[in-house]
Amino acid sequence: MSQKEEQNNDLMEKIVSLCKRRGFIFPGSEIYGGLAGTWDFGHFGATLKNNIKQNWWKKFVDGRRDMYGLDAAILMRQEVWQASGHVAGFADPMVECEKCKEKFRADQIPRTVLKEGSPKDRPLICPDCGGKLGEAKQFNMMFKTKIGASDDSSATSYLRPETAQGMFVNFKNTVDAFHPKLPFGMAQIGKAFRNEITPRDFIFRIREFEQMEIEYFIRSEGWEKYFEYWKDEMLSWMAEIGIDMDKVHELEVPEEDRAHYSSRTVDFEFDYPFGRKELFGLAYRTDFDLKNHKLDYVDEEEGKKIVPHVIEPTFGVDRAILAILLSAYSEDQKDGEVRPFLKFKRSIAPVICAVSPLLKNKPELVEYANFKVYAPLKTEFGRVVWDDNGNIGKRYRRQDEIGTPFCIVVDFDTLNDDTVTVRDRDTGEQERVKLTDLVQYIKNRIN
Ligand code: ATP
């Protein structure tokens, strides 16, 4: 393994371990041995996730006049997935090792283990044990389930593999309820499920994840203009939530690799420690979905029925979290030791500030810190924690790892002059701030 590969592995290990230790992300079903491809979000992870989703909704739904939100059911009739092409075509090529029986997604096996000249979807050598791999078979990634007590095939349903279809099947409802004029969009945040053959790389490839998707309905002429527009919007949001833009790259997806519904796809890839891979995607779905669901729209401007075309910006919440964690993770030297810290954007950090009495065995400090500092900040910002565990140095280290931008300490001077110490996560610098100015001081710095 090269030095760079070792450093990258090391970085992933540090992040996975920090996420568990500090209550961000835990392995799914851990006490029963774990369940591959599932992760549970602890208090700080859940808060970070909510902040990202709220920020997205604020920009793309609340911040616009042409967007209609939706929260559709995860379970839908099987006809939806037949019409969308997922029953027939939402499959990956799978190969099984004849020796160790491990299964792999054929198109994800590193090229280095392919025998020269072997086709892309049929590598020959198992990357784990070197055994012979069998024929590639198509494996449908949808989780099948049954609805109700009946056992016949009419009861079959699927856990949705994308949130998009919920928007297409509610296209007519949305048009009838809100009478939007083209172009307009529908937006939804919700869970999606894919029975990935090889879930891997922490929360990068998982079986249950969340998507934030937009279906932007347009007239077919000029789709290129909207495609470019959404590309810019996506890039500006990535920068806004603290993704390191030097690590983001656009990939024009070639026709043979595009999803069955797409006429043009640009993937936004991110330089993860395990390679450059997809973060978010932008697809021109044409009129594929509305046509297949036999839906149309009366275009008053043109005085006729048309089937609108669709530009789809799609964002994985979990991949956003991973990219943010990787962008925010930093180390520097403090007091002769390595200090790991998460340099989250202040607006999305799970904790905005931590409040501490200098000493937890001095009731006058504890009382002041609790009632005069913590309580009003908690009421104002919500994402505020009380931290009196260990000495001040330890508290700072803990809050740095959580990515808390401000640590506020009440000391003996506070009792005399009603000022507190505010310590900045990134610089470690401390400032005395008047209690009466504290809320405004933080407000000015988080937006
Ligand atoms: P990949 O090629 O990595 O499997 P995809 O092209 O199939 O991804 P899309 O169908 O475009 O992904 O899904 C939209 C978004 O949902 C992706 O850009 C990604 O952010 C997220 N996503 C897709 N599959 C997963 C997964 N298994 N785990 C986590 N996020 C996912």
Q: How confident is the model at residue 255 (pLDDT cuts 50, 70, 90)?
A: very high
CA 409 to chain CA mean position, Å: 33
Residue 61, pLDDT > 70, answer yes
Q: Helices marked H in 213-293 — which ranges?
A: 223-240, 288-292
What pLDDT is recorded for position 89?
A: 86
Residue 160, pLDDT > 80, answer yes
Of the listed ranges 131-135, 264-268, 311-315, 399-403, the one predicted with least confidence = 131-135
Residue 111, pLDDT > 90, answer no
Torsion angles phi and psi, residue 420, rounded to 5: -125, 160
Same fold, 3-87+163-325 and 351-446: no
Greater confidence (299 vs 135) lies with: 299
For ligand 1, is residue 201 a contact (CB within 6 Å)? no
Amino acid identity at 114: L
Section 195-220 average pLDDT: 97
What pLDDT is recorded for position 334?
A: 81
**Cα 120 to averaged position of ligand 1 atoms, centre (Å):** 20
**Cα 316 to averaged position of ligand 1 atoms, centre (Å):** 7
**Cα 364 to averaged position of ligand 1 atoms, centre (Å):** 53
384-386 and 353-357 as β-strands: parallel, antiparallel, unpaired? Answer: parallel
Under DSSP, the state recorded for 67 is E
Spatial contact of 132 and 102, defined as CB atoms under 8 Å apart: no
3-87+163-325 has CATH 3.30.930.10 classification: yes
Amino acid identity at 154: S
Q: How confident is the model at residue 362 (pLDDT cuts 50, 70, 90)?
A: very high
What pLDDT is recorded for position 370?
A: 98
Helix, strand, or coil (residue 175): helix
Residue 120: both structure tokens together: 């892309």
Q: What percent of the chain has pLDDT over 70?
A: 96
Q: State in Å, rounded, how far the first CA of the chain is from the last one.
A: 43
For ligand 1, is residue 202 a contact (CB within 6 Å)? no
CATH superfamily entry for domain 351-446: Anticodon-binding domain (3.40.50.800)
Spatial contact of 439 and 379, defined as CB atoms under 8 Å apart: no
What mean pLDDT value characterizes the chain? 94
Section 46-67 average pLDDT: 98
Distance CA 300, CA 25 (A): 50
Supply the pTM of this predicted model: 0.93
Distance CA 10, CA 27 (A): 18
Residue 113, pLDDT > 70, answer no
For ligand 1, atom 22, the nearest C-alpha belongs to 316
Residue 110, pLDDT > 80, answer no
For ligand 1, is residue 318 a contact (CB within 6 Å)? yes
For ligand 1, atom 14, the nearest C-alpha belongs to 314
Domain segments of the chain as ranges: 3-87+163-325, 351-446
Measured from the Cα of 319, ligand 1's closest atom is 20
What pLDDT is recorded for position 123?
A: 56
What pLDDT is recorded for position 172?
A: 98
Residue-wise burial string across 415-426, b where 16 or more C-beta atoms lie within 10 A, e elsewhere: eeeebbbbbebe
Those residues with Cβ within 8 angstroms of residue 155's Cβ, 6 or more apart along the chain or in another chain: 146, 147, 148
Residue 395, pLDDT > 60, answer yes
Measured from the Cα of 267, ligand 1's closest atom is 18
Distance CA 91, CA 87 (A): 9
